[in-house]
Structure 1
């Protein structure tokens, strides 16, 4: 019997429904939960030839004690830097001569290393050592650290259990300013090199050691990367390794190593208020200090937006935690693993990281109000008040978006007190003309955007992450498993910001037992477990071997 028009339409509708259903089913399938990137141990093909040396590094009491003495000598050679140091070395050669003493210490401590490398001093005290490889077609590997340390306040000296410049060793830990940030990295790199030389290793790939001398104040005098770019050109390096990252931490029950494969952006921003002043006996309702106080309240009340996207390596860190955690609630796990394609799940994931874990700094921009000054006399109204705020910029934001947010936050206070408003981000921009009541200036002192993402697919990452697995699962703790190596975000900033032109494979990582914050870096009683230092030497020994035998 022939089909009627109505029945044909019905078949078409049913058919379309089936097709659409299949499409959405396929779509849901294609938007399945993301997975933690898998990595496996990697060791060099010559591993068996170096097992005895690695065992000596990790277990020999004689090697351990000799290594302690090298660390102690580095701590005792003081290399503190301050925010108000002379910008040009030429302005005060005597002040900067402490780095000459430090370099002489390195020369006397590591004669084998000096015999195999050539040293280029850049801007007087930047140290660039080149260990020439036999194959000039291979891109060099750059290994970094910095010579300088933060200062020790005389007001806190009585709180140090060990003299900050003694390098005390109690059989387990070494104590002293800069030992965790990052003299242990610098000394460990050279110890690993000397062990390789003693093992008759001769590199195919050139290895470059680059040590700045003012990282703790932002590195304005660090010209090492510029010198390397002039010598080798852009995109000329195999990879760059510097301090940073989190090694061996337990996150929600998961044993993690989280090297930094990107860094948040950075900005120092001043807010300056200029008002007429006058005699304190006839004050206005609010002085400029009071007005600044209102701005501070608004700035600290403001919540920066949170992001949980693949633009941020922390996305993969928490995907790995969710996938492997025995502690995380199943509903939260599901939200994190679905956050890449489900808006509600993404919101739950962001809030969980921020509120429940207290790790909001990895998913949003942060601000810290660090310095404020104003007023000169008790009976004179302040005419000039200055606030300095440090901002670490989320991967999804820019310097300009953060400045715009700050303007939006303080503008109601500016309007309330009838002030002018000027921003100097892109040249002087008068947002509101100056008035008799005064003026507010936003001044960007220094700023740079978030770092480019380091790729985590391919042989570069496989060798790097695989070496972490090998050192910590096969050498440090034989037969142990369960370590998850995941990319992460650097909340601080390192000298790698100057090396972006040289390679897109930049790793911020320091082997060891403790994240830096647990070792009190920059704080009172800074220390490292000596075992951590030995792990660092073993890691770099192994990593250099593995990188040297691979081709570009």
Structure 2
């Protein structure tokens, strides 16, 4: 009897072990999982104790706070708005672009200590590249970024602003004004952190480069800073790049998180254009070109856009961390996310949970926005020309061609239905439907950017960067809080798109208390909590110290001596 029961228990044990194995790796429904969330340990510079009093002053001293507010206010009061129809060449309108001369004069007069320790190179007139030379030319430089320009303030919206958008109103807690959240606070904070380091006698071993463009809000085509830096230092010559972006101190399913961007979605603008013969509106055809375009619009908006949840997307790791740390996520959602790499059904459920339940579909799929449509010139004349502009942000798992052909696939049946010719223009013209006398349709890709290369998260560069975030927010800002730092995906695009050749390590991150959408960046009543700005200064102060202590894993020899000042 004992042998028989023992055999049964042994068989049962084997079945349980097999069940646990397949439950973990194929989605069988277990509740214990091997950790997948990238672990980040707190990192602080070895020199922390000798700098602790400075960090305390940055974060808590009322005089420092008020001085910092004054610097920010002056930055806001210099208007640096840019518009989509600005001249492509600075030379075409020097007077218009001269506002950036005024802004640079403000920087020079406000931060004389910084200017006395760096060399400024102006690129394409208004791009600012500052070189803070390090003592060890064998270390790759660190590159820190922001942009000088802001989106405009519409005259029609002025009545909705609680405070003058260019006054820099400070209510004792928050600072208000156009560009304060995007991203003059980051630009000014970089100067402030550098000056605080200089005051301590700090002299970097690793060269630090500061690069500030002046047209980021209008695609950045005038930004030649990256090309200039690559000409001086070469490809793959930069230790890391840090620019605006990311989400800091957000709470997802009860988990306090910081989510710096380690990639960005791609970008494409398409125009769908219909041209028809026209005529007098008293003798109309059954459907005008506007009616045809309307049907195409419906077809495009009804497209079934696929979702993805794969490690190719940094957001995968973000939600794995949520699943592992959340005290309130449902068991089903937790299981789906943590089993999603090994089980198709779990992956489908995870995508549905993020897309539908959390309303975060933009992180797991390409998105499309129909932004501009116009056509027709007169009430009694049939429209001869109708144009639709679509903006698509491309998921990491897709490409410009995939998303463009998906829209083409929605347009083609409508064009065929109404007897239109159809041409697709991406890499040259591709004839889809032969030209017809009834009219013609063109699907034209007018600007494009493939998804960004993904920054690694399994190396020392990430450990120092993410670990510094944890130290600043767990030990300095709010002792004893737990913060999960995870990589994320940028849904928009930043000036980092010009810097891909310089390094694999690009971090899109702005320290602070609120995600940008809550600070109303680009919108009416844009503001930041001033505490956020102080956090930003403290972060860059510490990060520079830590990076300066790091050794490079690959050899590098700086050619900086070749640069003519």
The alpha carbon displacement at 1:395 in A equals 0.2
Match of residue 539 from structure 2 = 539
CA contact (8 A) 1:133 1:204 kept: yes
TM-score (norm 1): 0.95
Structure 2 residue 113 is the aligned partner of structure 1 residue 112: yes
Does the C-alpha gap of structure 1 residues 233 and 23 become closer, same or farther in structure 2, counting only changes over 3 Å?
A: farther
Match of residue 6 from structure 1 = none
Range that drifts further, 353-362 or 379-388: 379-388
Q: Deviations over 1:272-325 (max 9, x none)?
A: 111111111111122111111111111111131000000000000000101111
**Matches of residues 45-124 of structure 1 in structure 2 within 5 Å?**
45-124=46-125
Q: Distance in 2 between matches of 1:135 and 1:104?
A: 31
Q: Deviations over 1:181-213 (max 9, x none)?
A: 000000000110111111111000000000011
Q: Distance in 1 between matches of 2:24 and 2:169?
A: 59
**Matches of residues 217-256 of structure 1 in structure 2 within 5 Å?**
217-256=218-257
CA contact (8 A) 2:145 2:211 kept: yes
Please, which runs of 5 or more residues in structure 1 have no aligned partner? Answer: 1-17
Q: Deviations over 1:208-263 (max 9, x none)?
A: 00001110011011111111111100000000000000000110100000000000
The alpha carbon displacement at 1:380 in A equals 1.0
Q: How many pairs are equivalent?
A: 534
The runs of at least 4 consecutive aligned structure 1 residues that moved more than 4 Å come to 18-34
Does the C-alpha gap of structure 1 residues 21 and 45 become closer, same or farther in structure 2, counting only changes over 3 Å?
A: closer
Match of residue 410 from structure 1 = 411
Does the C-alpha gap of structure 1 residues 34 and 427 become closer, same or farther in structure 2, counting only changes over 3 Å?
A: farther
CA contact (8 A) 1:33 1:338 kept: no
Q: Distance in 1 between matches of 2:218 and 2:307?
A: 28
Range that drifts further, 295-304 or 140-149: 295-304
Structure 2 residue 521 is the aligned partner of structure 1 residue 506: no
CA contact (8 A) 1:34 1:338 kept: no
The alpha carbon displacement at 1:477 in A equals 1.1
TM-score (norm 2): 0.92
Range that drifts further, 441-450 or 25-34: 25-34
Match of residue 490 from structure 1 = 490
Match of residue 15 from structure 1 = none
Q: Distance in 2 between matches of 1:327 and 1:131?
A: 47
Q: Distance in 1 between matches of 2:536 and 2:147?
A: 16
Three-state SS of the structure 1 residue aligned to 2:211 is strand
**Matches of residues 453-492 of structure 1 in structure 2 within 5 Å?**
453-478=454-479, 480-492=480-492
Three-state SS of the structure 1 residue aligned to 2:426 is coil
Match of residue 44 from structure 1 = 45
Match of residue 521 from structure 1 = 521
CA contact (8 A) 1:277 1:383 kept: yes
Range that drifts further, 223-232 or 23-32: 23-32
The alpha carbon displacement at 1:481 in A equals 3.0
Three-state SS of the structure 2 residue aligned to 1:116 is coil
Does the C-alpha gap of structure 1 residues 105 and 27 become closer, same or farther in structure 2, counting only changes over 3 Å?
A: same
Q: Distance in 2 between matches of 1:512 and 1:29?
A: 37
Match of residue 278 from structure 1 = 279
When the two chains are superposed, the root-mean-square deviation of aligned CA atoms in Å is 1.6
Match of residue 145 from structure 1 = 146
Q: Distance in 2 between matches of 1:406 and 1:336?
A: 30
Match of residue 329 from structure 1 = 330
